[in-house]
Amino acid sequence: MNNHERTWGRCLEIIKDNIPLQAFKTWFEPIIPVKLTKNILTIQVPSHFFYEWLEENYIGLLKKVIKKQLGSNGALEYSIVMENNLTKSTPYTVKLPALGTGSSRNSPKTIPLSVTEKQIRNPFIIPGLKKINIESNLNPAYNFDNFIEGDCNRLARASGFAVSNKPGGTAFNPLLIYGGVGLGKTHLANAIGLAIKEQFASKTVLYVQSEKFAHQFIDAIKNQSINDFIHFYQMVDVLIIDDVQFFSGKEKTQDVFFSIFNHLHQNGKQIILTSDKAPVEMKGMEQRLLSRFKWGLSADLSAPDLETRIAILNKKTYGNGIELSKEIVEYLAYSINTNMREMEGALNTLLAQASLNKRAITMDLARQMVDKFVKNTAREVSIEYIQKVVCDYFDLPIEMLKSKTRKREVVQARQISMYFSKKMTKSSLANIGAHCGGKDHATVLHACRTVVNLSETDKRFRLYLDELEKKLSIQ
C-alpha cells in the first residue's frame, strides 16, 4: 500500500466513526486517493457535484482529519474525473484549489460542448401532443414537496435537485435513476421535470415512457416519417425517458434513441432516464448506448428504512386530513417494507374502508388490510423495528444503541435487540452485528447467551423480555 493510500485509509477510519454508515458509503467510499506530495493529499472524486457536496457538508470534518494526519499545514486537493468527454478517450482531470485556501469555490474547468441546434420549422406531430405547445406529460402530484428524503434516496434526490436548478449545466447529464419497483423513480423524474418547468418557463420538458417512445417509432416507420420523429425529439430541452430498460433487445429503437441522445447531449440539453437496473446490469443494450448512460451520474434508489417509511405514511395521512395512531403507522411501515406503492395502497384501502363502512381505524382493521397486500402473512419483523421497539421501551435514542458506549443500560438494550433479531428474523449474525454499530458475529452470539442466562436467573429481566416480545408480535 502506498503512502497516500495509507494516509487516506487512516482518514477514513476517523470519518467513519463520525458520520452515519450510509453517508460514509455514499460520499467517502467512492473517493480514490491519488497521491501525497509533501503535505498535500490529492483525492479523486466522481463529479463536480460530488466535490461541492463534500465542501458543503463535510468541510469541517475533512479539515480536522487532514490536520490530524498531515499536521497544521496539511491540505487536500481534489481531482475530478469527467466521464463525458466527447473528444478524448482518456479521462479529463480537473485540479481544484487546495482545501481551506478560500478559493475552492472557483468554477472548475469544463469540457466545451458545441451548440449547433437547428431550428425545426415543421416538427413531427406525435399523436396526443400539440404542434405548437408540447405537453410535458408530467404528473403534478409527483413533486419534490411530497418526495420524502432518506438515506435510501439522498444522492438521487440531491442530484435531481441540482439538475432542476441548472438543467444541462451540471455533470449529471444524463441523470440515470435506477432501483426496484415502487421505490420512487417515476416520482423523482417527474419532480425534476416540474421543478424545471417552474423555474425555466421557456424550456420544453417532455416525459415519455419508453414503451410509448418505441410505439411512436414503429408508427413513424410505417408512415415513412422517421426523420420527422427524430427532429421532434431533438427540439426538446429536457427529455425524461421512464423505464429505459424496455429498449433492451430493440435494436432499431436503440439506434434512433442513440441519435436523439447524441444531439441533445452535444447541444447542452438535459436527459433524465429511469431504469430498474444499473447500466452494468442491463441486458440486451448496445455497448455504445450503455457507455453514454455512464457519462453523467447513475443514482440508485434503495428500499427506505423504517423512519423514512413512517415519514412517508405521516405525510400521506396529513395530506388526507387523517390522524392515525403511532402504533398503526409503525405497523404499516414495518409490515410492508420493500414496495412503497403497496404500502401507500394498503393505507388508501384502510382509509377507504374506515370511511365507507364508518368504522374506526383500529389495529385489527390495519392487520386485515395489510394481509391483502402482503402474501406472506407469517411476516418477520425487521432488525430496525426491533431496535426501535427496544429503544422506546427503555427510553433510549436509537443512536445510543448503535454507539460504542459501555453504559450498563445501553449494553443491556443492545444485547436484547440482538437476541430478538436472532430469534425473530432470518438475518445472519454478521448482519445483526452490522445493524448494532458494526459488531462482529462473536459479539452477537455472546449477547444472545447473556440474555438467555439472565432470563433464567433474573425475574425482572424475564419480565422485560415477555413485555417486549408481546410488543414485537405482529400476529
Task: Give the CA distances from residue 365 to residues 73, 313, 359, 362, 379, in Å, rounded to whole numbers and listed in that order.
Answer: 64, 17, 9, 5, 17
pLDDT of residue 180: 79
Q: Provide the b/e sequence for 431-443 (b: ≥16 CB within 10 Å).
A: ebbbbbbebeeeb
Give CA–CA dist 246/285, Å, rounded. Answer: 10
The answer to whether the beta carbons of residues 94 and 80 sit under 8 Å apart is yes
pLDDT of residue 329: 80
pLDDT of residue 472: 80
Domains within the chain, CATH numbers bracketed: 3-95 (3.30.300.180), 154-301 (3.40.50.300), 306-373 (1.10.8.60), 383-472 (1.10.1750.10)
Q: Could you list the pLDDT tens digit for every one of the 475 residues in the chain?
A: 578 888 999 999 999 888 887 778 878 888 899 888 888 888 888 766 677 778 777 888 888 898 888 888 888 888 876 444 333 333 334 444 444 433 333 333 332 322 333 333 333 344 444 434 567 889 998 888 888 787 778 888 899 999 999 998 888 889 999 987 778 899 999 999 999 999 998 898 999 999 999 988 888 888 888 888 888 888 889 999 999 988 988 888 998 999 899 889 888 899 999 998 888 888 888 888 888 888 888 888 877 777 778 887 877 777 666 777 777 787 777 776 666 666 777 777 777 776 776 767 777 777 777 766 665 434 557 788 888 889 888 888 888 888 888 888 899 999 999 999 888 887 888 888 888 888 888 899 999 999 999 888 888 888 889 888 888 875 4
pLDDT of residue 81: 61
Give CA–CA dist 469/461, Å, rounded. Answer: 12
Strands (E), 295-389: 297-301
pLDDT of residue 112: 30
In the block, residue with C-alpha cell 413512517: 310
pLDDT of residue 100: 42
In the block, residue with C-alpha cell 477514513: 12
The answer to whether the beta carbons of residues 47 and 172 sit under 8 Å apart is yes
* The amino acid at 269: K
Query: What are the cell numbers at 298?
Result: 447513475
Query: What are the cell numbers at 10?
Result: 487512516
Query: Which is it for strands 75-82 and 92-95: parallel, antiparallel or unpaired?
Result: antiparallel
C-alpha 407: how far from chain center: 35
Give CA–CA dist 313/311, Å, rounded. Answer: 5
- Sorted by sequence, the CB contacts under 8 Å of residue 475 that are 6+ apart come out as 378
Nearest CA to 250 out of 277, 294, 287, 285 is that of 285
Report which DSSP code applies to 108. P
